[in-house]
Amino acid sequence: MVLRFLVTLLAVLSLLTLAPVVAQDAEKHVFVTALHKDGAPIDGLTVEHFAVREGGKDRQVVRVEPLRIPMHVAVLVDTSAASGVTNETFRAAVIDFVERLAAFNHVAVYAFGDRAVPVVGFTQSVPDLRRGMSGMFAWSYLIDAIDLSLRDFEKIEANRPVIVAIAAETPEASGRSAGSVVKRLIDQSTAFHAISLATATGSGTASTSPRTIPESSQRLQGMIATGEGDRERNKALEQGTTKTGGGRQRLTSTMALAQALGRLSRELSNSYNVTFARSGDSRIKDLQVGIMLEGITLRATAAPFGTR
């Protein structure tokens, strides 16, 4: 069988070397999800299926078990008009996804429409989540919302932080750079998943510009919005998901949202805690995870320091 190494994890743990991890014959953990080509999680994997390398050196995998650590999931919802929030299908899919996660995990909801705001703090209470979301869909600042949720993760020292963003492909208005939040996602060992909804007008803003604005100014406004804003949003979505063990789904209709969220829910609920042995007091760096199977997609996120 062919050993396939997850190269993207190199970027994840190379940044974590900024903080020293002192361990003598210690056990370390990495959270791994293995997916079939159709996106379905793979069950029944054992120690024999995985390999771990650090700095080009093989590390002994001592345990592989289902990941039972409850998640703290920050669900970021685009509440701008372009996302289709007035569509009952959109609302029902988001609410069902949040309620399903809350059965075994702590869930917080953030909205980013006119601005990034917390809607419901981390809780397992479905009634509280439902009440909070009932008034949410009336209000895009994706990068600000990621930053806000990361700050909240720091406060609670989550053992398994996850961010799920449901966002329309519209211009980004956040004041922060994508690079800064991607670095923090990596540094805080936070898996970032995104579901992008295509809009009828694409990512431009010409259709929403007031007619009183001169045509030349509208063109300039559109260039700024679809240029720098789009680049930052796309960078956050692409690098944020690939460098943290997350994934991105792109949809052309809100009708597909429920299915996409259901797929993500199954993925989040069927992961592995891969434990490997490591001796010495040097810093962990250049960690790779491999699997002895072909045609498999791996997603891997380093365990936060508290669970290492």
CATH number for the domain harbouring residue 110: 3.40.50.410
Band the pLDDT of 214: cuts 50, 70, 90.
very low
CB hemisphere CA count around 289 (13 angstroms):
30
Q: What is the sign, positive or negative, of the torsion defined by CA atoms of 209, 229, 176, 161?
A: positive
Specify whether 24 is located in the same domain as 157: no
pLDDT of residue 155: 93
pLDDT of residue 274: 96
Q: Which tens digit of pLDDT belongs to each residue from 63-110?
A: 999 999 999 999 999 887 656 656 788 889 999 999 999 999 999 999
Instruction: Residue 146: name the closest of 231, 227, 34, 241 by CA.
Output: 241
Any idea which residue has 């289902």 for tokens?
A: 66
What's the CA gap between 226 and 201, in Å, rounded? Answer: 12
More confident residue, 276 or 19: 276
Specify whether 148 is located in the same domain as 187: yes
Between the two ends of the chain, the Cα-to-Cα distance in Å is 30
Q: Is the pLDDT of residue 261 over 80?
A: yes
Give whichever of 5-9, 23-27, 187-191 has the largest mean pLDDT. 187-191
Mean pLDDT of 236-243: 94
Any idea which residue has 């995985």 for tokens?
A: 50
Specify whether 288 is located in the same domain as 163: no
Specify whether 200 is located in the same domain as 298: no
Alpha helices in 103-205 (DSSP H): 126-134, 142-156, 178-187
Instruction: Residue 287: name the closest of 75, 28, 40, 36 by CA.
Output: 28
Band the pLDDT of 130: cuts 50, 70, 90.
confident
Domain extent for 41: 4-67+271-307
Residues in the chain: 308
Specify whether 42 is located in the same domain as 154: no
Specify whether 294 is located in the same domain as 147: no
Give percent of the chain with pLDDT exceeding 70.
Answer: 74
- Determine phi and psi for 111, rounding to 5 degrees: -110, 145
pLDDT of residue 140: 64
Q: Which tens digit of pLDDT belongs to each residue from 266-300?
A: 999 999 999 999 876 566 677 889 999 889 999 99
Band the pLDDT of 10: cuts 50, 70, 90.
very low
Specify whether 186 is located in the same domain as 99: yes
Mean pLDDT of 32-52: 94
Q: Helices then strands (H, E): number in the chain?
A: 8, 14
Specify whether 59 is located in the same domain as 160: no
Instruction: Residue 76: name the closest of 183, 185, 179, 155 by CA.
Output: 185
Specify whether 243 is located in the same domain as 297: no
Q: Which tens digit of pLDDT belongs to each residue from 176-194?
A: 889 999 999 999 999 999 9
Instruction: Residue 276: name the closest of 286, 268, 287, 265 by CA.
Output: 287
What's the CA gap between 168 and 229, in Å, rounded? Answer: 13
pLDDT of residue 107: 96
For 7-86, list the strands marked E by DSSP. 26-35, 50-54, 57-59, 61-66, 72-77
Alpha helices in 225-291 (DSSP H): 230-242, 257-269
Band the pLDDT of 152: cuts 50, 70, 90.
very high
Q: Is the pLDDT of residue 213 over 60?
A: no
More confident residue, 265 or 91: 265
Specify whether 43 is located in the same domain as 89: no
Query: Number of folded domains in the chain?
Result: 2
Specify whether 291 is located in the same domain as 227: no
Specify whether 256 is located in the same domain as 152: yes
pLDDT of residue 110: 94
More confident residue, 281 or 153: 153
CB hemisphere CA count around 30 (13 angstroms):
32
pLDDT of residue 245: 93
Instruction: Look over the chain and give the mean of its residue pLDDT values, rounded to a whole number.
Output: 79
What's the CA gap between 296 and 292, in Å, rounded? Answer: 9
247 neighbors 267 (Cβ within 8 angstroms): yes
Q: Is the pLDDT of residue 226 over 80?
A: no
Which of 10-24, 79-93, 152-166 comes out lowest in average pLDDT?
10-24
Band the pLDDT of 160: cuts 50, 70, 90.
very high
